[in-house]
Amino acid sequence: MSNLDRQATPSVCGGRGFVVAEPVRELLAPRHVRLGGSTEVRRLLPNLGRRMVGAWAFVDHYGPDDIADEPGMQVPPHPHMGLQTVSWLHEGEVLHRDSLGSLQTVRPRELALMTSGRAISHSEESPREHARLLHGAQLWVALPDAHRNVEPHFQHHADLPVVTASGLSATVILGELDGAASPGTTYTPIVGADLSLTGGAEARLPLVPDFEYAVLSMSGEAEVDGVPVLPGSMLYLGCGRTELPLRALSDAGLMLLGGEPFEEELVMFWNFIGRSGEEIVQARKDWEEGSRFGEVRGYDGARLSAPELPATPLKTRGRVR
């Protein structure tokens, strides 16, 4: 999924200066963004008070939306660089196309993982004949400098490992949780898991103290470390935890996101992650004028144009790039 914000501005992410080294309970409110067609998303990252969680650099939550008489998700071809996209559904279907020639229908609890590397483009749309409801999350993982120019590739995993406890089922999307490892390719120490809790369940999830964590609420009513987290909101938890208490007040769906704090300073603009303003300027130029990002074939419609960059140079922590 793309950032379709036409008023996009460059932002600085990463670096340990943004990391909280101890356990905290910081509730993040979403920003509502229209994403073409009938889809509105709740954007949790980047957030005014929190830019990243580990290598997780972008989190959108959408739905559940009734799209029975609507086109549903319609995201035209657009570029990415320096990141991985993670598509995760609870309800509905999304058709993925990319400039590598990939064509894949993604269904609930299946991992669609696209690694942009130096450059890729893709589109996402609800199939013409689609389910009534659409509900899911779209997330980006920043690639570290050593791997940000890898060959672009796409992975689809329908079967993922599941960790169970009384009243809890945890599907491991990326990384490792409680000894279960996802088959998705990762480039930094990271974890992403989909948590399903039955009403009344109480559980303690094992965590890695060196990781920072956050929990996104997808549905239902649940308390995370004693804090009520409503659907479409996210609780940032900081570092230094060995376990996480969960309590479901009703059947509930959560997403656990975590990872080793991302030390590198990043520049993020629109659908690009780079290391300098110059890189972002060049990427935008290449998308608008060149062939670096390839072509998405089969999508019925025009590709997206990049928003304009601000006229003033990008300042990153006292330096101009």
Q: DSSP letters along 115-158, please?
A: E-TT-EEEEEE--SS--SEEEEEEEEEEPPGGGTTSPPEEEEES
Mean pLDDT by 10 residues, the chain (321 residues): 55 71 94 73 89 96 94 94 98 98 98 98 96 97 97 98 97 98 98 98 97 98 98 97 98 98 95 96 96 96 94 52 32
Backbone angles phi, psi at 198, to 5 degrees: -85, 150
CB 223 within 8 A of CB 247: yes
Calpha distance 42→34 (Å, rounded): 9
- pTM of structure: 0.93
Per-residue pLDDT reduced to its tens digit, 52-93: 999 999 999 999 999 999 999 999 999 999 999 999 999 999
Per-residue pLDDT reduced to its tens digit, 38-63: 568 999 999 877 889 999 999 999 99
Calpha distance 219→136 (Å, rounded): 10
What pLDDT, on a 0 to 100 scale, did the predictor assign at position 13? Answer: 73
Share the mean pLDDT of the chain: 92
* Residue closest to 260 by CA, chosen among 175, 149, 178: 175
